[in-house]
Amino acid sequence: MSSVIAKIEKHSPLLHKARVGDRLVSINGRRIEDVLDYKFFSYDKRLEVVLEDASGKRHTVTVRKHAAEDLGLDFETYLMDKARACRNHCVFCFIDQLPPGLRKSLYFKDDDARLSFLTGNYITLTNLSERELQRIIDLRISPINVSVHATDPELRARLLGNPDAARGYALLKRLAGGGITMNCQIVCCPGLNDGAALSQTMRELAALYPQVSSVSVVPVGLTKFRRQLRALRPFDRAGAAETLDRIDAFGDRCLQKYGSRIFFASDEFYLSAERAIPADDYYEDYAQLENGVGLLRLLETEFLSALEYESGKSDGVPFSIATGVSAAPFLSKLLVTAVRKYGKIDGRVYAIVNEFFGHTINVAGLVTGRDLIAQLRGKPLGRRLLIPRCMLREGEGVFLDDVTVAQAEAELGVALIPIASGGGALLSAMLGRFSGSAIRQPKA
């Protein structure tokens, strides 16, 4: 069962009161159904905990602890439940555009409000039961991240391929009325939810400020595997420019009225429109970095700041940097800036064209090991190859296509150094310092 205790930590206040295999039934009279119930109802200093052993016998134990102290229990699954799968059929769904043969976990579409709060995942609200909606409000579970795409009911239902999606804006208003803070995103598709539809969505979301705290607008991502799916087209230069003008003009009005722009276009829009990335203060608190909003500007800002205060020297070891097509010119500019100060830096930047997913996909996080190897084999790479850590599976040395770092190193004959995000980590790697910035040390 989902609430069966799998492990009891040594520091747990229940160490001598519960056993592995017991089921956590309730805390202070509140039934425990999932991880949010567990975390929120175990907050208090004094708890009455009901446990059920393997035979079905229940007993109650009293726990005294510090407020907010964790009970130190691990369960059979992180959520104490199965992750909620998405019920939508979004016309732009990226997972529907994946090729066959990838690891199974990549094909799972989650739409789970608990993961939105705990790990920052975006949800559409179509999977939310009345109990879950009210719990979010009652327990002040905030902030949550919501994929909006459009506020017009008919358009949203069409975009998400789900008639329940039409309730989206009504649910947003209810959450806002309950004091819940929301970060929202809009995946913008030319001819569907851009233009006047985008303006309507921005107006109606701005009306919920400050509960709708920030909104990112990102262009639809299209792979070469869109088979038997609705025909969509990417933004061209003119379309990206028109959309940027629309977002920025409305953001200017919001800034004057509310003190915040609220709406921010992703970096990809600026690159597609061939426009300069805005200045640092444009992005306020960089609330939408995970959606690629201001990533390049923050990288440059941090890099230049680190460059100003860095007093060490470069180790002079030749290196190369591999990244996606969109970021390559930006990194080349930063490399040139570093060379001006240190002179001894010997590096080059390689843009990896995405043959795996198609040329319209140009971000570093979707570069595969196969493309990296194929395009860099035989190139002058120096003694180490720096790659952004986002190319790899979280916490592991494996690319999206299951090629390992070790395999890529063997094929290319060079040490691969995954670099943490941030301009300071990038500069340190250029100078030959990797403590705290790379998953693994370079080979001698």
How far is residue 275's CA from residue 23's CA, in Å, rounded to a whole number?
A: 57
Into how many domains does the chain fold? 3
Residue 376 placed within a domain = yes
Instruction: Looking at the structure, tell me whether residues 209 and 307 fall in a common domain.
Output: no
Instruction: Looking at the structure, tell me whether residues 311 and 349 fall in a common domain.
Output: yes
Residue 213 placed within a domain = yes
Choose the final residue of a domain: 75, 103, 137.
Answer: 75
Give which of 201, 236, 212, 71 is closest to 145, Cα–Cα: 212
Choose the final residue of a domain: 293, 320, 355.
Answer: 293
Instruction: Looking at the structure, tell me whether residues 313 and 328 fall in a common domain.
Output: yes
Alpha-carbon torsion 81, 83, 84, 85, what sign?
A: negative
Q: What is the CATH number of the domain that holds 31?
A: 2.30.42.60
Instruction: Looking at the structure, tell me whether residues 140 and 262 fall in a common domain.
Output: yes
Residue 55: half-sphere exposure toward Cβ, Cα within 13 Å = 3
User: Is the distance from CB of 129 to CB of 135 less than 8 angstroms?
Assistant: no
Instruction: Looking at the structure, tell me whether residues 191 and 226 fall in a common domain.
Output: yes
* pLDDT (0 to 100) of residue 19: 92
* pLDDT (0 to 100) of residue 289: 92
Residue 443 placed within a domain = no
Give which of 46, 45, 76 is closest to 61, Cα–Cα: 46
Query: Which structural domain range is residue 226 located in?
Result: 95-293
Residue 408 placed within a domain = yes
Residue 186 placed within a domain = yes
How far is residue 102's CA from residue 150's CA, in Å, rounded to a whole number?
A: 31
Cis peptide before 100 (omega within 30 of 0): no
Instruction: Looking at the structure, tell me whether residues 127 and 41 fall in a common domain.
Output: no
Instruction: Looking at the structure, tell me whether residues 361 and 251 fall in a common domain.
Output: no
* pLDDT (0 to 100) of residue 135: 87
Instruction: Looking at the structure, tell me whether residues 43 and 126 fall in a common domain.
Output: no
Choose the final residue of a domain: 264, 293, 322.
Answer: 293
Q: What is the CATH number of the domain that holds 247?
A: 3.80.30
Give which of 232, 226, 291 is closest to 96, Cα–Cα: 226
Instruction: Looking at the structure, tell me whether residues 264 and 313 fall in a common domain.
Output: no
Q: What is the pTM of this model?
A: 0.85
Instruction: Looking at the structure, tell me whether residues 265 and 323 fall in a common domain.
Output: no
* pLDDT (0 to 100) of residue 230: 87
| Ranges of the chain with pLDDT below 50 | 436-444
Looking up tokens 């209810």 gives 174
Residue 436 placed within a domain = no
Instruction: Looking at the structure, tell me whether residues 390 and 353 fall in a common domain.
Output: yes
Give which of 53, 42, 48, 1 is closest to 28, Cα–Cα: 48
Tokens, residue 54: 């393997």
Residue 437 placed within a domain = no
User: Is the distance from CB of 282 to CB of 234 less than 8 angstroms?
Assistant: no
Instruction: Looking at the structure, tell me whether residues 252 and 314 fall in a common domain.
Output: no
Residue 329 placed within a domain = yes
pLDDT in tens, 192-222: 999 999 999 999 999 999 999 999 999 999 9
